[in-house]
Amino acid sequence: MNPKLIASIIVVIVIAASVSVVYAETYKQKVNASTITVTDDLGRKVPVKLPVTRVVSMDPSNTQMMYSIGAGSLLVADTSYDWWPANSTSLPHVSMDSPASVEQVVNMTPDLVLATTIQPAQIINQLQNLSIPVLVLEPQNISNIYTDMLTLGKVTNHQSGAEKEVNYMKSYIHGVESNVSAYLNLTGNKKQSLLYMMWSTPIYSVGPGSFIQNVLVDAGAYNIASSLNSSYPTVPLEDVVNDNPQAIIVDYEIPGLTNITWFTKGNQSQVWNNITAVQNDNILFFNQTESNWMNEPGPLTIYAVKTVAQFLYPQAF
Amino acid sequence: MKFSAYIFTISLVFLTLVDVLVSLSIGPVHISIQEILENTYLFLFHKNPDWTISTIIFYIRLPRIALAIIVGTILGISGLTTQTIFKNPLGDPYLTGVSSGAAVGAAIGFLVSPYLVPVLAFIFAMLAVGISFAISRSDGEVNTEMLILAGVSVSFLFSAVASYIIYLKIANLRGVLFWLLGGLYGATWTNDFWLFIALIAIFPVMVYFRRELDIMLMGDEQAKSLGVNSGRVKTIILLVSSLVTSLAVSVVGIIGFVGLVSPHIGRKIVGESHRFLIFVAPLIGANILLVSDTIARSAPQGEIPVGIITAFIGAPVLIYLLFRRRRM
């Protein structure tokens, strides 16, 4: 190749590199002028430029948090899975099916993106590299929901709304918990043993380390799968026989498992027919809303706690 | 050789019995051998056995042990015949498109109704096999070289369809994933019964053709000169083994490695001749799957998909055998 050509290419590259470095530095300084750095649920320190005016939510739970603290009007897009509150469904949608379309998100020109780990790390990094701050809000328990909502309040300048909502949730949960504990104290009963089913064959359940396990515990349940020490264990059928749960909760939309006949007349009915929960017909089949409350950690989680507690201890309410 | 092969075959049968007893006494719920014996007696003579123990033994562990043996046998024998006919040491019972066809069927099944999953898995497995055979037919006979390539192409095509259905989340993702990983957790006596019927229907066919299989090892020319119509025999055996593998897959999902490894272990011990191998390979398959499934269902953190265990056991064994072959 022509040495002159090579030399000029090198010169162009060097100039381009120095220009971009200078540009990036000035940009950084500009950012520093009015940024707040918050820590998200992955432990990442995310600088967010203030004020935040355009937010894209990539998960229904994050959308719900935004609306509940009164910051819903800042949302410019959410997902097609959003259902609460009703006006969240009329926003433009970005795809939540992984991998999300980065183009779609960028097109909304957001100054903040909210996501969960359903989005692959590459997507989050790609957005960060485009100088769009991404907060990963994926609470693992209820007090974690409180901190996340307070964080959102700080970032969106809705502190008082966030504090109000958190206080409401706290008192709601406290009410449920005191009902249950008063009932247990009064009757001297033990906690109800529960099998939580997210799939039928094999039995896929929740254990320590999962969000749902924490909700079940808050509702006063003894989750029989918690002894397996795995966040999402596959429960051996013989464990179910041995622990003989008093109650069963079945998540929404497990194909074929929508009523008690799956237990009493299905393939393994000889086993299930002798389980206390099946004999007493003490099985709760979540409808879609109840399932959403349980699976989307946010302001509506309190209703999941109450639903489970009411199912396990109807006399306490 | 012949004498020791006899002894080995018989001792494999005994090993299977021992494995059954060991497997029966191992599980996530601890039950002592004494309790097993007591409650078996009480159960069999209708004398009020302990409900928990007898349910675990007779409705959970035993049907599952039986299923492991039946499926292991099916995979072992299908693996053996596939390897012999294709003269390919990498042959496994899924080579003609069974597994990816079944995956498409299962994905569609979860979309429509879970009760249709086994039926659709079977139908689509046979569809994939049928397409592979149709592509590789020439002059009324199956060309095995073509069949391998046709099987691979059809597998890719069906896998793509299955992946696309799963990706679209049309089908319930969790269900299809469990199904793809394979597992014997759904074992019931009814499943066992029907698969067992299928197995005893096809086993005599394989045993009947064991001499022809030996001759095929020498090559098609040799077979022809010895008066064996190898084209017809190949077609029959491959169709029968694809059929029974599809049935097994429709019940337990896709369990890898058993069909691949069992014939290799068998050959190392009783040699290439199908006279013994036709019994030994399926027995080894049964033992591998039984031991793997016992580990899979007894894991302290809840069940592990059995395919992971069969690969963990099968891969090192295969590597060991390869090293030995290299040294020889």
Partners of B179 on chain A (C-beta within 8 Å) are none
Residues B325, B30: Cα–Cα separation, whole Å:
42
Which segment of A17-21, B26-30, B174-178 scores lowest on mean pLDDT? Answer: A17-21
Residue B3, pLDDT above cutoff 80: no
Contact A93, A58 (CB under 8 A): no
Residues B28, A199: C-beta atoms closer than 8 Å: no
Residue B138, pLDDT above cutoff 90: no
The pLDDT > 90 percentage for chain A reads 78
Residue A103, pLDDT above cutoff 90: no
Question: Is residue B193 within 8 angstroms of chain A, CB to CB?
Answer: no
Question: Is residue B271 within 8 angstroms of chain A, CB to CB?
Answer: no
Closest CA–CA distance from residue A207 to any residue of chain B (Å):
10
Chain A: residue whose CA lies nearest to B183: A202
**Mean pLDDT of the region B157-164:** 93
Residues B115, B94: Cα–Cα separation, whole Å:
23
pLDDT digits (tens, 9 = 90+) for A28-78: 555 555 899 999 999 999 999 999 999 999 999 999 999 999 999 999 999
**Mean pLDDT of the region A264-274:** 93
Which segment of A28-32, B71-75, B207-211 scores lowest on mean pLDDT? Answer: A28-32
Partners of B167 on chain A (C-beta within 8 Å) are 97
Find which of B52, B116, B193, B304 to mutate to test the A interface (most A CBs within 10 Å of its CB).
B52
Between B91 and A26, name the one with better pLDDT: B91
In this predicted structure, what is the pLDDT of residue B207?
Answer: 93
Closest CA–CA distance from residue A224 to any residue of chain B (Å):
12
Which segment of A153-162, A307-316, B138-147 scores lowest on mean pLDDT? Answer: B138-147
Show the tokens assigned to A152. Answer: 């959102």
pLDDT mean across residues, chain B: 89
Return residues 173-192 of B near A (CB < 8 Å): 174-175, 178, 183, 185-186, 188, 190-191
Residue B168: band (very low, low, confident or very high) from pLDDT cuts 50, 70, 90 = confident
**Mean pLDDT of the region B96-108:** 92
Partners of A268 on chain B (C-beta within 8 Å) are 59, 186, 188
Q: How many CA atoms lie within 13 A of B304 on its CB side?
A: 17
Closest CA–CA distance from residue A66 to any residue of chain B (Å):
27
Residue B328, pLDDT above cutoff 60: no
Residues A228, B61: C-beta atoms closer than 8 Å: no
Residue B89, pLDDT above cutoff 70: yes
In this predicted structure, what is the pLDDT of residue B26?
Answer: 93
In this predicted structure, what is the pLDDT of residue A22?
Answer: 59
The DSSP output letter for A220 is T
**Assigned CATH for A35-159:** 3.40.50.1980
In this predicted structure, what is the pLDDT of residue A46?
Answer: 95
If you search the block for the tokens 């390869």, which residue do you land on?
B322
Residues B102, B269: Cα–Cα separation, whole Å:
33
**Bridge partners of residue A288, in order along the sequence:** none
Residue among B28, B172, B304 whose CB faces A238 most closely: B28
In this predicted structure, what is the pLDDT of residue A26?
Answer: 55
Show the tokens assigned to A247. Answer: 């109650």
Contact A56, A75 (CB under 8 A): yes
The DSSP output letter for A315 is G
Residue among B27, B114, B301 whose CB faces A238 most closely: B27
Residue B221: band (very low, low, confident or very high) from pLDDT cuts 50, 70, 90 = confident
Residue A265, pLDDT above cutoff 60: yes
Q: How many CB pairs under 8 A join A and B?
A: 88
Residue B2, pLDDT above cutoff 70: no
**Mean pLDDT of the region B185-197:** 94
In this predicted structure, what is the pLDDT of residue B172?
Answer: 67
Query: Shortest CA distance to A95 belongs to which of B5, B284, B168, B202?
Result: B168
Residue among A202, A244, A254 whose CB faces B185 most closely: A202
Residues B27, A97: C-beta atoms closer than 8 Å: no
Residue A19: band (very low, low, confident or very high) from pLDDT cuts 50, 70, 90 = low
Closest CA–CA distance from residue B45 to any residue of chain A (Å):
18
Residue A309, pLDDT above cutoff 60: yes
pLDDT digits (tens, 9 = 90+) for A210-231: 999 999 999 999 999 999 989 9
Partners of B114 on chain A (C-beta within 8 Å) are 200, 255-256
Residue B40, pLDDT above cutoff 70: yes
**Bridge partners of residue A195, in order along the sequence:** A248
Residues B55, A241: C-beta atoms closer than 8 Å: yes
SS3 content of chain A, % helix, strand, coil (to 5): 50, 15, 35
Return residues 31-70 of B near A (CB < 8 Å): 51-52, 55-56, 59-61
Partners of B190 on chain A (C-beta within 8 Å) are 267
The pLDDT > 90 percentage for chain B reads 56
Beta-carbon contacts of residue B315 (< 8 Å; ≥ 6 apart): B257
Superfamily of domain covering A190-316: Nitrogenase molybdenum iron protein domain (3.40.50.1980)
Closest CA–CA distance from residue B158 to any residue of chain A (Å):
22
Q: Which residue type sits at B313?
A: I
In this predicted structure, what is the pLDDT of residue B311?
Answer: 87
Question: Is residue B14 within 8 angstroms of chain A, CB to CB?
Answer: no
Residue A122: band (very low, low, confident or very high) from pLDDT cuts 50, 70, 90 = confident
Which segment of A153-157, A266-270, B105-109, B114-118 scores lowest on mean pLDDT? Answer: B114-118
Residues A54, A75: Cα–Cα separation, whole Å:
6
Residues B28, A271: C-beta atoms closer than 8 Å: no
Show the tokens assigned to B88. Answer: 């390919």
Residue B201, pLDDT above cutoff 80: yes
Beta-carbon contacts of residue A317 (< 8 Å; ≥ 6 apart): A179, A309, A310
Closest CA–CA distance from residue B189 to any residue of chain A (Å):
9
**Mean pLDDT of the region A293-308:** 97
Residue A120: band (very low, low, confident or very high) from pLDDT cuts 50, 70, 90 = confident
**Mean pLDDT of the region A249-260:** 89
What are the structural domain ranges in chain A?
Answer: 35-159, 190-316
Find which of B185, B192, B250 to mutate to test the A interface (most A CBs within 10 Å of its CB).
B185
Residues B301, A228: C-beta atoms closer than 8 Å: yes
Q: In which order are the strands placed within the sheet that holds A55-57?
A: A93-94, A75-79, A55-57, A112-115, A134-136
Chain B: residue whose CA lies nearest to A226: B301
Residues B1, A313: Cα–Cα separation, whole Å:
71
pLDDT mean across residues, chain A: 91
Query: From the DSSP assignment, how many helices (H) and strands (E) are in chain B?
Result: 15, 2
Residue among A229, A237, A255 whose CB faces B114 most closely: A255
Query: At A199, is the secondary structure helix, strand, or coil?
Result: strand
Return residues 197-256 of B near A (CB < 8 Å): none
What are the structural domain ranges in chain B?
Answer: 2-327
pLDDT digits (tens, 9 = 90+) for B305-326: 898 899 888 888 878 877 876 6
Superfamily of domain covering B2-327: ABC transporter involved in vitamin B12 uptake, BtuC (1.10.3470.10)
0.90 surpassed by complex ipTM = no
In this predicted structure, what is the pLDDT of residue B60?
Answer: 94
